[in-house]
Structure 1
């Protein structure tokens, strides 16, 4: 079958250190005519970095690069690949450029992928042949890049599953996400809160917004604040996509740096900390009072302080990603503290776009198989649905596994071993998928200090996540069980969730948290400061987070059979 594009490559020859211009005798007459005037995608490849661009006049553009009439330095590159054809035109150029930037960066062969892309922070306008561009250009073109040794990964589907792809600052945005970003970028007076539940794309918006702000304000300082489990990944994302002028911190490190920034964007701002005596010492050091003040007050810490107020003081403009349903510890900033600081901020609300990638359903299942419906069902069962308008949902999604088996998005397993078997089976169907078993904090972490296993089931043994930061990429993490602190804010493909005995059914038949089976020491209130309802909410929030990590499928194992029975009754599951 003939191709719908032309693939051309030229070596960049040098005389001493200076590149030579392309010579007419290196280019065929038809190629020359097309490259003089015609829509073209081009990629310069160097030893460890690349540059992706688009133009209507490639030969003129190359001459500008050769004559150093731009910031682009041709001496850094060894060759250039160009492509033009019937699918590459003014309608598709932005989409193609965005996709190639993202794929090449996510592939990992090049430490940095540069571009002068002007579509950052915008949504791609749908155009005719958009699906054909993916199937008849992007996929075969990628294969040619691989066969010519320009990229590492032969299978483009493998690239799509990588973290660098999922959180690319060139990721296609929804129309609402793009509108919010443009409004923030154009407003120099206000601070902002972006409210959104799980799966609304807050983290993708964060990477896009940071990239847009850094590009439009090259002389201003941009900082991104993330949780510790995402710090290393965020740094790699911005560096790989050529945005190394964006500083990445955890909240504690940002405060300790004592440096002012023009723009600060905070992911997971519901997890910012307040002073709470039962917190990690490394966190509470930022709330320690100066000796003289401490002596005057008779206390060593600023007991009413929180991280957000300290960050605001060092930020000219601030944007917060927020979901109060993901607060999970007593030391997290309270809603009252958050609201007091942000009551004059401008608020945006993201609609639910939680992705459930399943075969299209018909009939009654069609209405049930939506992200919004799934989240409603989970929040209603857990009793954390604060919106009375969301009390109705379709239960067929939760019943379908009895009919569709492995093809169903949701299902219930009878053991932890079955969870691992399910994820392993899905790996056979989707080898590039990222799949993990996760659990509530319902086991002691004994493997930290001994050779004992944290989880034992018959002859099977498993441990908690071996590290917190970047756990998904840790060796052997597929054979471990991840805690909330390893996976909060991270999307996976297939997920197995252990609902432990830290959730139980009380004498009144209510779903409640059980502190006796909950082992996160910093997740419990002090004995002289009990808040049973708030603790109950924290544990339920943890399971809300865990149960919304899976894009392609989820299986659940209930340790407490009373909870499983209650869940089945609530969801109308007969089996």
Structure 2
């Protein structure tokens, strides 16, 4: 299926391009970060932390800052403190690496090698004779907080190692997007790690992704905390509860034909194995395969037109925008009528890798539930124009149906 020209204009490739206009607040923050980098380039260590919820423009700001840094580093102004500096942008997300490297094509100041995975950068710098000058880290909440020899990370914390190998580190961070025990961050744990360094922290609050009234984000934030509120009021942002997953998929296909970049997503409650075979999600009349692992594909999953025939996971969609997102809340997302709250059942969650490495973690069951709620927060905050939801659990399905009927005035 060919996606429309208008859809391509809304692609993540365009939305994160350093040519995108920044708001006045973003532009001021960009200037502050650049001033910080120039002031601290020769210092031993310094950190700039940018916090913000999903959809607040953190990645766009970071890529714009990095482009400005590399323009100065490779420019002709020898008086600029950034001139001749050696800098990297890191992200622990293979789909985002593809996106950043695609954006770099055709820009004289950028090279594909400027963008790297944290483990690769750390292992290379372990044998280097010179530290990096400035390192920017997107999705810093995905950095490992314990060793992972299987993936060739043999230290104890990726951020600590990145700081050790750089003069200035700039990160974007959202503790509500932590997805694994191996990357178990909180605001408190981040503060403890950076204590003692020169640190500036700023926060982005304005929501740019979801073109919705405040009640939509309030509803999503409440849901991620286990609270079910009345549904958002009817508005231009298309928020719907579906009784049937197949009907929701048909609606997503219709929106995709018109707008492009509309996809099905699901919580990781359905079996999936990296064995080269297709694995399927079945909910009543709905039967569709999980996203196929295609590491060699040039485009990230969200950008490939063929993925309208797949269901994406939190790992393929984190960091990306869609026009419409159809969300299947799987069996791990349940409901307690007595308390009118969401209840998470980690035993039904199929992403067992998310729970690996929990030795020594206090209250692991509560952390498991928080990881699942974080994943729901990520997939529910993808849609620019609309959010569609279907719940598998019968009790939650019925409660959402009641809320939908109340909003419809029935």
TM-score w.r.t. length of structure 1: 0.60
Alpha-carbon separation, structure 2, partners of 1:256 and 1:248: 15
Q: Who is 1:282 aligned against?
A: 150
- Structure 1: gaps (5+ residues): 1-152, 288-301, 358-368, 386-390
Q: How does 1:226-241 map to 2 (within 5 A)?
A: 226=91, 227-241=93-107
Q: How does 1:4-153 map to 2 (within 5 A)?
A: none
Q: Who is 1:179 aligned against?
A: 28
Alpha-carbon separation, structure 2, partners of 1:475 and 1:352: 30
- Would you say 1:169 and 2:11 are equivalent positions? no
Call closer, same or farther: CA 1:460–1:350 in 2, change over 3 Å. closer
- Would you say 1:194 and 2:50 are equivalent positions? yes
1:349 positional shift: 0.8
Alpha-carbon separation, structure 2, partners of 1:534 and 1:561: 25
- Would you say 1:207 and 2:63 are equivalent positions? yes
Alpha-carbon separation, structure 2, partners of 1:467 and 1:233: 16
Ranked by relative contact order (alpha carbons within 8 Å, sequence separation 6 or more), the top structure is 2
- Would you say 1:515 and 2:346 are equivalent positions? yes
Q: How does 1:402-481 map to 2 (within 5 A)?
A: 409-430=238-259, 433-445=260-272, 448-449=274-275, 453-458=279-284, 460-467=286-293, 469=295, 470-474=300-304, 476-481=306-311
1:459 positional shift: 5.8
1:159 positional shift: 4.0
Alpha-carbon separation, structure 2, partners of 1:163 and 1:410: 22
Call closer, same or farther: CA 1:376–1:437 in 2, change over 3 Å. same
The question of whether the paired residues in 1 share the 8 Å contact of 2:327 and 2:387 is answered with: yes
My pick for the range that moved more, 497-506 or 375-384, is 375-384
The question of whether the paired residues in 1 share the 8 Å contact of 2:90 and 2:138 is answered with: yes
Q: Who is 1:307 aligned against?
A: 158
Call closer, same or farther: CA 1:337–1:351 in 2, change over 3 Å. closer
1:264 positional shift: 0.8
Q: How does 1:488-507 map to 2 (within 5 A)?
A: 488-506=318-336
Call closer, same or farther: CA 1:201–1:474 in 2, change over 3 Å. same
1:203 positional shift: 0.8
Deviations 1:351-376 (A, max 9, x none): 2223444xxxxxxxxxxx42x43222
1:563 positional shift: 1.7
Alpha-carbon separation, structure 2, partners of 1:184 and 1:267: 14
The question of whether the paired residues in 2 share the 8 Å contact of 1:306 and 1:333 is answered with: no
Alpha-carbon separation, structure 1, partners of 2:13 and 2:268: 28
- Would you say 1:242 and 2:108 are equivalent positions? yes
Q: Who wins on radius of gyration, i.e. which is larger?
A: 1
Q: How does 1:148-159 map to 2 (within 5 A)?
A: 157-159=6-8
The question of whether the paired residues in 2 share the 8 Å contact of 1:229 and 1:468 is answered with: no
1:534 aligned to which of 367, 371, 385: 367
Q: Who is 2:43 aligned against?
A: none
Call closer, same or farther: CA 1:475–1:167 in 2, change over 3 Å. same
Alpha-carbon separation, structure 1, partners of 2:401 and 2:194: 40
Deviations 1:83-116 (A, max 9, x none): xxxxxxxxxxxxxxxxxxxxxxxxxxxxxxxxxx
Alpha-carbon separation, structure 1, partners of 2:119 and 2:167: 19
* Cα RMSD for the two superposed structures: 2.8
Q: Who is 1:320 aligned against?
A: 171
Call closer, same or farther: CA 1:449–1:345 in 2, change over 3 Å. same
- Would you say 1:255 and 2:122 are equivalent positions? yes
- Structure 2: gaps (5+ residues): 41-45, 75-83
Q: How many residues align?
A: 375
Alpha-carbon separation, structure 2, partners of 1:157 and 1:452: 31
1:408 positional shift: 5.1
